[in-house]
A and B are shown apart, each in its own frame.
Chain A
Amino acid sequence: MTITDFQTATLFRFATAGSVDDGKSTLVGRLLHDSKSILADQLEAVTRTSVERGFGGSASGEGQGQQIDLALLTDGLRAEREQGITIDVAYRYFATEKRSFILADCPGHVQYTKNTVTGASTADAVVVLIDARKGVLEQTRRHLAVARLLRVPHIVAAVNKIDLVGFSEAVFRDVEEQLLRAAAELGLPDVRVVPVSALEGDNVVELSARTPWYTGPALLEVLETLPAVDELENEFEAFRFPVQSVIRPQGALAPGLDPEPFRDYRGYAGQLASGVVRVGDSVTVLGSAAGTQITTSVAGIDFAGTSLPQASAPQSVVLRLSDDIDISRGDLLVEAGTFAEASQDLHASLCWLSPKPLREGAKVLIKHGSRTVQGLVRSIKGWLDLASFSEGPAADLGLNDIGTVQIRLASALPVEDYERHRRTGAFLVIDPVDGNTLAAGIASGVPDGEGEPRGG
């Protein structure tokens, strides 16, 4: 384990996506192993299993001719081994001096869309594995399309098994060309391409002498230097704050506090979904009561006994406001002048994640920010072909389908366009009967508010 400088180290979340047999488990194992995140007892267990299973590859993990199957480092549950399947996303952790990483390891085969959507929803980057011998496959295009739909800021394409094509620059350039073309078609903003051998370790943590024609950084360095979502200054990122709860401690004050200053305390607890807020800023309260919009100003930002001059996403804080307004859980505070209006009509793409298909006329629950309201699916307007990113007609949506729908809400929600506001454009579709999560919702076609948001 590396000593991370916790004063400056930031958190970076990424998801991996790949097709069957492209060496994803080996790559994840290699990243964990070469960044020294694997401890002796884990390595010993893996080495033992490698020997038992007769692993004879050339991945000399430890020198001295000791050969281990790095893929075993990410070996899953017994339930998975017994059935020979991988059950959804596994989260893994490693750190370097510059960053702590949260890796959402998404299995490539069964239910790839469901898993990739889940992993990509919180990701700062998606690492897409491509077999150098096979190039961009339909599966690759699907992964890229999901990353595009969920607006993951960075794609890192690891062109793997470069050793099996003799470290050929021509092969790499060809795959790179295919990738950049697919990325351009999809409108992906930022794609980095790195030639790697997960098995041999080339360009994963250390740059390889065997690819002298590659002048970019190794995969880990790419991940260490890409800006995370909350480090990107986005021109659309105005302040957004879903109110989680109202803190009125009268009668239930934390022990040890002098009650006098808190006699009339009223604060709003929440996590900034985007942007920055400063004491004195004008904010508009989008109330859950139909159509209410009241503008006031921020009187204070509290966090566990400390008064802060400002807070930025994704900080959790308590805001106090200048005016005594009736605000409750579910309300959204926004930078004044940056929001149009809440609507009862929701136009969105849904990534359908349930085996129970969606049909027109379905009654669902919509969870947006800290509010949940009823919704009626009025129409299914189309089905998205991920391979071509074109839309065709659809009567229903099944597991792993992505489609566009029109939903009528029982009360208006301040949903924004996901393209511009990742947090406030996202919602869950929930089954009102059994409470299960049915779909990931991505709002589209919402007119953006007037005014000039300030940014960071």
Chain B
Amino acid sequence: MNTAYLTEDRLPTGTRTGLSSLDALESEAIHIIREVVAEFERPALLFSGGKDSVLMLHLATKAFWPGKVPFPVLHVDTGHNFPEVLEFRDRTVERLGLRLVVGSVQEFIDRGDLSERADGTRNPLQTVPLLDAISRHRFDAVFGGGRRDEDKARAKERILSLRDEFGQWDPRNQRPELWNLYNGRHTVGQHVRAFPISNWTELDVWRYIEREGIELPGLYYAHEREVFRRDGMWRAVGEVSQPRDGEEVLTRTVRYRTVGDMSCTGAVESVAATAHDVVIEVAASTLTERGATRADDRISEAAMEDRKKDGYF
């Protein structure tokens, strides 16, 4: 190259093949998971049965092999979950011999500590039971499957994100994160949210699920379902998700790109029946995963930012 300037004493001696991008991401995530387990006393992993949390658990099993995963999993149950996802959750926990801690949105509503929102969605209501579970079980580090490609607030959050006693994220007061040295020091009352797959994209996640043969709840793959159209999304017909007047119920072949609260998660029409099919579909998709399927993220441009500041995942 005519414009290159090379000093004599620092010429690279040659090049070799690097790790594939998936191997590099896997290695980074495992390093982070091991650091957190080594430096914290009571870590837990947020586990909803959604693909990112399933992936996280898979990484944790690899990180500590031949030992078992050395922390419990925590699920904040909105009470509006897909039954097949709950069944998958319980089966996975059983298979890996883990302890499951559940924080229940329904219990908070029944006690009058939370009230149902006008729009019926319960995703934003998860924050209070989450913080309650964290303080009740004295978790000092909570692993989450958040990725920076999901949202502009997440794009700026650290891999180890310090939260105060109210669980709040303060974007103006984040610790610089340098090299692969993670600073998990915290004072009493503070805890840390750890996001080992921060640097993965949706496509990376699916590629990895395909490569590793990771089992997911069936609704991530194409299946027939009774649905109706609302806000430009296909909503499943279920106990908490009923069509209003004028919303016609149809049978469609659909799959879910994200699995959250039934009342705000939409399906996409798809014939992708395997992880490989999904990889091809995601690569060709023209919509982001949250834009396509999450009503709660459409509330405002800064919906995620606001929720995070209040202590959300």
**Residues of A participating in the B interface, judged by any CB pair closer than 8 Å:** 1-4, 6-11, 39-42, 45, 75-79, 87-93, 95, 99-100, 102, 114, 117-118, 121-122, 153, 176, 180, 183-184, 187-193, 215-216, 227-228, 230-235, 244-245, 247-249, 252-255, 257, 262, 265, 269-271, 302-305, 312, 314-316, 318, 329, 353, 365, 367-370, 422-423, 426-428, 430, 434-437, 440, 455-456
* Chain B residues within 8 Å of A245, by CB: 34, 37-38
Answer whether A11 and B37 are a contact pair too, CB < 8 Å, given A303-B62, A305-B65, A437-B175.
Answer: no
Does B24 have its Cβ within 8 Å of any Cβ on chain A?
yes
* Chain A residues within 8 Å of B285, by CB: 1, 39
Listed A/B pairs (16) with beta-carbon separation below 8 Å: A9-B20, A10-B21, A11-B24, A39-B288, A42-B291, A78-B306, A87-B156, A93-B201, A180-B5, A257-B66, A269-B34, A303-B65, A304-B62, A314-B180, A435-B185, A437-B178
* Chain A residues within 8 Å of B273, by CB: none
Partner of B177, one of A6, A118, A188, A426: A118
Which range holds the interface residue count of chain B? Answer: 35 or more
Find residues 28-79 in chain B having any chain A CB closer than 8 Å to their own CB.
Answer: 28, 30-31, 34-35, 37-38, 61-70
Min distance, Cβ A136 to any Cβ of chain B, angstroms: 14
Q: Total A-B pairs in contact (CB under 8 Å)?
A: 263
Task: Please measure, in the bound complex, the distance between the C-alpha atom of A42 and the C-alpha atom of B301, giving whole angstroms.
Answer: 11
Does B13 have its Cβ within 8 Å of any Cβ on chain A?
yes
Partner of B305, one of A45, A78, A231, A455: A78
Task: Please measure, in the bound complex, the distance between the C-alpha atom of A121 and the C-alpha atom of B174, giving whole angstroms.
Answer: 17
What are the nearest 8 A-B pairs in CB distance?
A: A435-B185, A41-B291, A249-B67, A304-B62, A78-B302, A100-B21, A40-B286, A11-B21
B305-A79 in contact (CB<8A): yes
Closest residue to A173 on the B side, CB-wise?
B3
* Beyond A247-B67, A302-B66, A304-B62, 11 extra complex contacts between A and B, CB < 8 Å: A1-B283, A11-B18, A39-B285, A42-B288, A76-B156, A187-B7, A234-B12, A253-B66, A269-B34, A353-B176, A437-B175
Does B1 have its Cβ within 8 Å of any Cβ on chain A?
yes
A192-B287 in contact (CB<8A): no
Min distance, Cβ A191 to any Cβ of chain B, angstroms: 5
Closest residue to A75 on the B side, CB-wise?
B152
Min distance, Cβ A405 to any Cβ of chain B, angstroms: 17
Does B104 have its Cβ within 8 Å of any Cβ on chain A?
no
A11-B286 in contact (CB<8A): no
Closest residue to A78 on the B side, CB-wise?
B302
Min distance, Cβ A205 to any Cβ of chain B, angstroms: 18
B175-A10 in contact (CB<8A): no
Does B118 have its Cβ within 8 Å of any Cβ on chain A?
no
* Chain A residues within 8 Å of B187, by CB: 434-435
Task: Please measure, in the bound complex, the distance between the C-alpha atom of A76 and the C-alpha atom of B171, giving whole angstroms.
Answer: 11
A95-B24 in contact (CB<8A): no
Q: Mark B272-290, 1 if CB is under 8 A from A, else 0.
A: 0000000010111111100
Task: Please measure, in the bound complex, the distance between the C-alpha atom of A42 and the C-alpha atom of B290, giving whole angstroms.
Answer: 11
Partner of A10, one of B19, B26, B291: B19
A244-B31 in contact (CB<8A): yes
* Chain A residues within 8 Å of B27, by CB: 271, 314-316
B30-A316 in contact (CB<8A): yes
A428-B34 in contact (CB<8A): no
Answer whether A329 and B176 are a contact pair too, CB < 8 Å, given A188-B5, A233-B16, A252-B68.
Answer: no
A99-B21 in contact (CB<8A): yes
Partner of B176, one of A78, A90, A102, A440: A440
* Chain A residues within 8 Å of B7, by CB: 184, 187-189
* Chain A residues within 8 Å of B61, by CB: 254, 304
Does B204 have its Cβ within 8 Å of any Cβ on chain A?
yes
Does B238 have its Cβ within 8 Å of any Cβ on chain A?
no
Closest residue to A157 on the B side, CB-wise?
B3
Answer whether A255 and B12 are a contact pair too, CB < 8 Å, given A77-B305, A215-B2.
Answer: no
* Chain A residues within 8 Å of B310, by CB: none
A39-B286 in contact (CB<8A): yes
Does B241 have its Cβ within 8 Å of any Cβ on chain A?
no
Task: Please measure, in the bound complex, the distance between the C-alpha atom of A91 and the C-alpha atom of B150, giving whole angstroms.
Answer: 11
B66-A262 in contact (CB<8A): yes
Task: Please measure, in the bound complex, the distance between the C-alpha atom of A184 and the C-alpha atom of B176, giving whole angstroms.
Answer: 30
Task: Please measure, in the bound complex, the distance between the C-alpha atom of A4 and the C-alpha atom of B284, giving whole angstroms.
Answer: 11
Closest residue to B98 on the A side, CB-wise?
A255
